[in-house]
Amino acid sequence: MDLRKYKLYILDYDGCLIDSMPMWRDSASSYIRYLGYTPKEDLDERIPIFTDLYCAELIKEEYHLPMTIDEIMKGIDEYVDYMYPKVPLKKGSLDVLSKLKSLNKIIVVLSASGDHILNLSMKALGIKEYFHDVISVYNHETLSKGNGSAMEYVRLKYNISKEDILMIDDSLSNVIGAKEYGIDCISIYDEHSSKNKEEMLKNNSIAYMKMEELAKVL
């Protein structure tokens, strides 16, 4: 398997390049602790999406916060801005980026996170220079990795055929989306997003491995 043959490499960010899934998974309870309260045990299960109106309304009602809904939502955004840049790279990620850059490959980040926090993270980690492009699906409402429209957007932007693209992602829905779109994909192990999905990740990608393992075979 020659992983150097591709011209364009599309990399996911959360759970792939950086070890951020624990932060997102426990974000609601962490925020409540940050405010000085003790979170209920099932809080994170009931708030799967952290920065939305439902989260703010639920937190205000359950913890009787002396703030308006708008103030809570603003506080959540500020908390994410504070925490996200502290998330470290996954082991092997910097080696992967360094090798791809030394091979003069086109490296594009395609992420569900917003532009703002991506920029904060990349600046803190000192990795922005590795990427030709950083595309936030969150900020492009018409794009999706699940249905392939995001990959098509990247392909057309760089005028590259599908056989010359490799996607690297930890999300099963994105891996399946890449397969259905018709590009090769490496599925990346993540302790949290891969749980109970290992076989499906293997079956829908050309390889399933950790980032540090990918760094060794590039």
Quick one: what percent of the chain has pLDDT higher than 70?
Answer: 98
Q: What pLDDT is attached to residue 53? A: 85
Q: What is the pLDDT of residues 30-73, one digit of tens each?
A: 889 988 999 988 988 888 666 678 889 988 999 999 999 999 98
The torsion defined by the Cα of 71, 72, 77 and 80, in degrees rounded to 10, comes to: 140
Whether residue 183 sits in one domain with residue 144: yes
Query: 33 phi and psi, to 5 degrees?
Result: -65, -40
Whether residue 160 sits in one domain with residue 93: yes
Q: What pLDDT is attached to residue 144? A: 95
The mean of the pLDDT values for the chain is 93
**What is the pLDDT averaged over residues 155-184?**
97
In a domain? residue 80: yes
Q: Cα–Cα distances in Å, from 181 out to 3, 121, 150, 160? A: 19, 29, 10, 14
Q: Which domain holds residue 29?
A: 23-85
In a domain? residue 1: no
**What is the pLDDT averaged over residues 196-217?**
95
Whether residue 186 sits in one domain with residue 108: yes
Whether residue 211 sits in one domain with residue 149: yes
Whether residue 94 sits in one domain with residue 56: no
- 209 beta partners: 188
Q: What is the pLDDT of residues 64-110, one digit of tens each?
A: 999 999 999 898 889 889 999 999 999 999 999 999 999 999 999 99
Whether residue 129 sits in one domain with residue 47: no
| CATH number of the structural domain spanning residue 169 | 3.40.50.1000
Handedness of CA 30, 173, 211, 128 (dihedral sign): negative
Q: What pLDDT is attached to residue 47? A: 82
Q: Which of 66, 85, 104 is the last residue of a domain?
A: 85
Q: Cα–Cα distances in Å, from 118 out to 4, 30, 103, 109? A: 26, 20, 24, 10
Q: Which of 60, 85, 110 is the last residue of a domain?
A: 85
In a domain? residue 159: yes
**What is the pLDDT averaged over residues 178-194?**
93
Whether residue 108 sits in one domain with residue 164: yes
DSSP annotation of 65 reads -
DSSP annotation of 94 reads H
**What is the pLDDT averaged over residues 168-197?**
94
Q: What pLDDT is attached to residue 108? A: 98
Whether residue 74 sits in one domain with residue 124: no
Whether residue 28 sits in one domain with residue 15: no
The distance between the two most distant Cα atoms of the chain, rounded to a whole number of Å, is 58
Q: Report whether pLDDT(15) > 90.
A: yes
Q: Which of 85, 105, 139 is the last residue of a domain?
A: 85
Overall domain count for the chain = 2
Q: What pLDDT is attached to residue 182? A: 98
More confident residue, 139 or 127: 127
